[in-house]
Amino acid sequence: MQITYKGKVRDVYDLGDKLFITSSDRISAFDVVFDELVTGKGILLNSISNLWFNYFKEIPNHILETVLSNFPKEFQKEEFRDRSILVKKCKRVDYECVVRGYISGSAFKEYKEHGTIAKKKISEAYKESEKLPEPIFTPAVKNDTGHDENISEEELKSRVGEELFLKLKNYSLEIYTKAHDKLKNQGLILCDTKFEFGFDNEKLILIDELLTPDSSRYWDMDSYQTGISPPSLDKQILRNYLETLDWNKNPPAPKLPLDIIEKVLHKYKELQERIKKCL
Ligand SMILES: Nc1ncnc2c1ncn2[C@@H]1O[C@H](COP(=O)(O)OP(=O)(O)OP(=O)(O)O)[C@@H](O)[C@H]1O
Ligand SMILES: [Mg+2]
């Protein structure tokens, strides 16, 4: 078996009509992958995604198997246990379906620079990280090389047609809204998230990962405030540490001390537990 595609965190094996996706313990920040592993992190990431896929099971998704003993024989190895999924390989919809409930990240940057969000003129005044009156759908073109490009809803509609556009938008807003609501019980804020969809024959289904800290920005309600850009829960410790270094955020990555790695793992564990309690 040879890895077909290596993301920053996950490894993908192409099995023809299926994909085997395994979450490693690699960690990245500012798009740079560190040499050190956060042992156990991949299991937590996989668990978070599976918890959500299961919670939203009425929405069709790509999951076929999550249990080691049900994987194809060659993948029944300890190294894959609890961190891997066997999925239907789909024809990917090459747009990231982003939903934002708060104005942060690239959306705040666009708003500050151009007075628009997702190319739409905004008359209200917003502080950074402020909650939006309604969650908004801000799609982006999936770019395998380089950065994803934000496009307007109209642009997406003209590219994929109204029917598919509405399905992508409505599914995305529905999942975000329900998840945001659920997470409140554990003092968590789902700032924004990104969904991917694909076609299983003619049927539109959810693919990739669902509501993980890699595809979403989770904040803690306790430390939430506007006017600043709180990093997502899982990245906070790493970011704080990296800020103490004289590092230009380009490779090579600096070495990570053991206590930072342990704290990062602990945060992942805490996040997984809090999400689990909500569902
Ligand atoms: N069921 C599926 N069918 C087809 N493609 C899929 C399916 N599920 C996920 N994918 C694709 O597999 C790839 C998984 O890669 P992965 O997310 O690990 O790395 P990446 O998106 O390139 O980078 P990053 O590490 O920033 O996420 C993505 O391109 C995703 O769109
Ligand atoms: Mg990805």
Question: Looking at the domain assignment, is residue 101 inside a domain?
Answer: yes
- What 3-state DSSP class applies to 111? helix
Cα–Cα distances (Å) from 73 to 42, 67, 68, 87, 234, in that order, read 21, 12, 9, 15, 34
Cβ neighbour number for residue 225 with a 10 Å cutoff: 10
List, for residues 3-40, the tens digit of each pLDDT value: 999 999 999 999 999 999 999 999 999 999 999 999 99
Give me the pLDDT at residue 146, please: 64
Please indicate, yes or no, whether residues 99 and 218 belong to a single structural domain of this protein: yes
Separation of first and last alpha carbons in the chain = 36
Phi/psi of residue 132, nearest 5 degrees: -80, 155
Please indicate, yes or no, whether residues 67 and 150 belong to a single structural domain of this protein: no
CA-nearest residue for atom 15, ligand 1, is 7
Alpha helices in the chain (DSSP H): 41-55, 105-114, 153-160, 162-183, 236-243, 258-278
Please indicate, yes or no, whether residues 143 and 29 belong to a single structural domain of this protein: no
Q: Backbone dihedral region of 233: left (phi > 0), alpha (psi from -120 to 50 degrees) or beta?
A: alpha
Residue type, 120: K
Please indicate, yes or no, whether residues 83 and 98 belong to a single structural domain of this protein: no
Please indicate, yes or no, whether residues 193 and 264 belong to a single structural domain of this protein: no
Tell me if 19 CB under 6 Å of ligand 1.
yes
- What 3-state DSSP class applies to 74? helix
pTM for the whole structure: 0.96
Give me the pLDDT at residue 148, please: 78
Contacts of 90 (CB under 8 A, 6+ apart): 62, 198, 199, 200, 205, 207
Q: Is the pLDDT of residue 63 over 70?
A: yes
CATH value at residue 43: 3.30.200.20
- What 3-state DSSP class applies to 189? strand
What range does the domain containing 80 cover? 5-90+253-278
List, for residues 243-258, the tens digit of each pLDDT value: 999 999 999 999 999 9
Question: Looking at the domain assignment, is residue 243 inside a domain?
Answer: no
CATH value at residue 117: 3.30.470.20
Over residues 209-224, the mean pLDDT reads 95
Please indicate, yes or no, whether residues 50 and 162 belong to a single structural domain of this protein: no
Please indicate, yes or no, whether residues 76 and 193 belong to a single structural domain of this protein: no
144 CA closest ligand 1 atom index? 22
Give me the pLDDT at residue 7, please: 94
Please indicate, yes or no, whether residues 61 and 178 belong to a single structural domain of this protein: no
Counting ligand 1 atoms within 8 A of each CB, the residue from 3, 12, 88 with the most, and so the one to mutate, is 12
Please indicate, yes or no, whether residues 216 and 98 belong to a single structural domain of this protein: yes
Please indicate, yes or no, whether residues 113 and 202 belong to a single structural domain of this protein: yes
Cis amide leading into 252 (omega within 30): yes
- What 3-state DSSP class applies to 218? strand
Question: Looking at the domain assignment, is residue 242 inside a domain?
Answer: no
Please indicate, yes or no, whether residues 45 and 60 belong to a single structural domain of this protein: yes
Structurally, the chain folds into a number of domains equal to 2
Beta bridge partners of 219: 189
Q: What is the DSSP letter of 186?
A: G
60-71 b/e (C-beta count within 10 Å ≥ 16 → b): ebbbebbeeeeb
The length of the chain is: 279
List, for residues 129-142, the tens digit of each pLDDT value: 999 999 999 999 99
CA-nearest residue for atom 12, ligand 1, is 208
Q: Are 262 and 166 in contact (CB under 8 A)?
A: no
pLDDT band at 166 (very low <50, low <70, confident <90, very high): very high
Cβ neighbour number for residue 74 with a 10 Å cutoff: 11
Mean pLDDT, the chain, whole residue set? 95
Please indicate, yes or no, whether residues 81 and 105 belong to a single structural domain of this protein: no
**Domain endpoint, select from 179, 203, 223:** 223
Counting ligand 1 atoms within 8 A of each CB, the residue from 92, 98, 197 with the most, and so the one to mutate, is 92
Structure-token match 């790509």, residue found: 62
Q: Are 173 and 135 in contact (CB under 8 A)?
A: yes
